[in-house]
Amino acid sequence: MMMLSNTLNNPSFWLDDHPHEECGITAIFAPGEDVARMTFFSLFALQHRGQEAAGIAVSDGFSIRMHKDIGLVSQVFTPENLAPLSGNFAIGHNRYSTTGSSSIRNAQPFLLETRHGPVAVAHNGNLVNSKELRQELLESGVGLSSSSDTEIIAQMLAGAAGEDTFERLKDAMLRWIGAYSLVILTLKEAFVARDPWGFHPLSVGLLPSGGHAAASESGALHTLGCVGIREVKPGEIIALSNHALRVEQALQPKNPTALCTFENIYFSRPDSFWDGRSVHQIRKNLGTALAKTAPVDADVVIPVPDSSIPAAIGYSQASGIPYDEGFVKNRYIGRTFIEPTDTLRKQGVALKFNVIDEKICNQRVIVIDDSLVRGNTIAPLIQLLRDAGAREVHLRITCPPISYPCFMGVDMGTCGELIAHSHTVDEIREQIGADSLVFLPLNKMMSAIGKDDGYCNACFTGCYPFTVPGHGIKMGFENCINDIHGIGR
């Protein structure tokens, strides 16, 4: 059995045992409106995608003003610091670090003064060739102040060839390998762009005022009242300006594309649409597939909240076993910057989850979870159920075992941190203390999604859509930056 005390004293425990969030981006053109405030609410709707930092940049046609800082959207922005951000165009960003540490120098957007005027850039994803691109910039004399590949994107865009931003963006995109959903702000326009593999979501819609908005998820656009929402196609660039949307297919979509499966499994809000499909319905389908694949006699089906709730409903409906809530989750414990005391830390999982004892006592329980990454929180959860009197605990996971790291913008850890990389399913079951453990097979998962291909499943299979570096890239540039700034010594 896993030593529970070691788990509770491990800082990664407090980050939760799921693939960690990517980033949220948004762009708005709304003449005569308070675009900074609109961007704030769009970012607020995307808060689940990143809680480390937030930033907004706004153009009034003459200059770009920006405010960004470490913290949640509601912590970073106030009416006082939003007031100076006036204009018709804006971009915004929520950050979860996938390249570079969580620090103010890596907060986005990045704002540069260039020979073509000021430009601000925010990014969701990872460039797998960022090390080579970074070295080229340094050798050409370009100075870099952060450890983020987004600064590399901004600097390459500033130096790219072309008569206008469209042409310069196309020129730069030819060099970028990896995942990038981008929002870009100039004095007169806001742009959005998506990599030709289509890894991460990006949608655009019409605002009630007649302007346009883009965001990582359609749910954020609904928050702004958008209609006519459509996804930005892989390899596409769209300009939001005083004219009708200008759309250009900068790069041909890859065949097949490589959409991130985890948008359906975990990341996206359930009210969002991804690849033309309802995320909520897909999660129910995953639960239904699990019920058919791995039936077991039990008394109650419970989810690990929140992303597993639709799957648990689907499992319950397909199996006929009643659905109920077994865990009550404190949704804010993982987003506080105040560490618990040693005494509270020993409470461990109880700081984040409590069990409704009367729903669990003397019951055979099926627990539905969306994924199992490191295995460091599900064991304490199972122990909570045992302590509440559960007779049996059967764990069902809505995806296959995660055995390989992601290099395209999802922080899953290294091979050594992924429990399925070095353990069999039965070894994992024994380690976490479950009576049974079943992962949904890859083919059943894709059937539930409704596609045979076009998705990236590299974290399950180890088959990446392109050559990936043989080293971790999240903190790859930190040492040299720390030396420059004299920190971390």
Distance CA 140, CA 135 (A): 9
Count of positions (residues) in the chain: 489
Residues 388, 360 contacting (CB under 8 angstroms): yes
Catalytic-labelled residue, pool 23, 226, 406, 459: 23
CA torsion sign for 229, 235, 241, 246 is negative
226 is catalytic: no
HEC states along the chain? CCCHHHHHHCHHHHHCCCCECCCEEEEEECCCCCHHHHHHHHHHHCHHHCCCEEEEEEECCCCEEEEEEECCHHHHCCHHHHCCCCCCEEEEEEECCCCCCCCHHHCCCEEEEECCEEEEEEEECCECCHHHHHHHHHHCCCCCCCCCHHHHHHHHHHHCCCCCHHHHHHHHHCCCCECCEEEEECCCCEEEEECCCCCCCCEEEECCCCCEEEECCHHHHHHCCCEEEEECCCCEEEEECCCCCEEEECCCCCCCCCEECHHHHHHCCCCCEECCEEHHHHHHHHHHHHHHHCCCCCCEEEECCCCCHHHHHHHHHHHCCCECCCEEECCCHHHCCCCCCHHHHHHHHHHCEEECHHHHCCCEEEEEECCCCCCCCHHHHHHHHHHCCCCEEEEEECCCCCCCCCCCCCECCCHHHCHHHHCCHHHHHHHHCCCEEEECCHHHHHHHHCCCCCEECHHHHCCCCCCCCCCCCCCCCHHHHHHHHCCCC
d(C-alpha 52, C-alpha 426), whole Å: 36
In sequence order, what are the residues at sequence separation of 6 or more whose Cβ sits closer than 8 angstroms to the Cβ of residue 462?
403, 404
What is the longest distance spanned by two Cα atoms in the chain?
Answer: 71
Cα R_g (the chain), whole angstroms:
23
Residue partners of 343: CB distance under 8 A and separation at least 6: none
Give the rounded distance of the alpha carbon of 288 from its chain centre.
25
Place of tokens 């060839």: 161
Q: In whole angstroms, what separates CA 360 from the centre of its chain?
A: 32
Known catalytic residues? 23
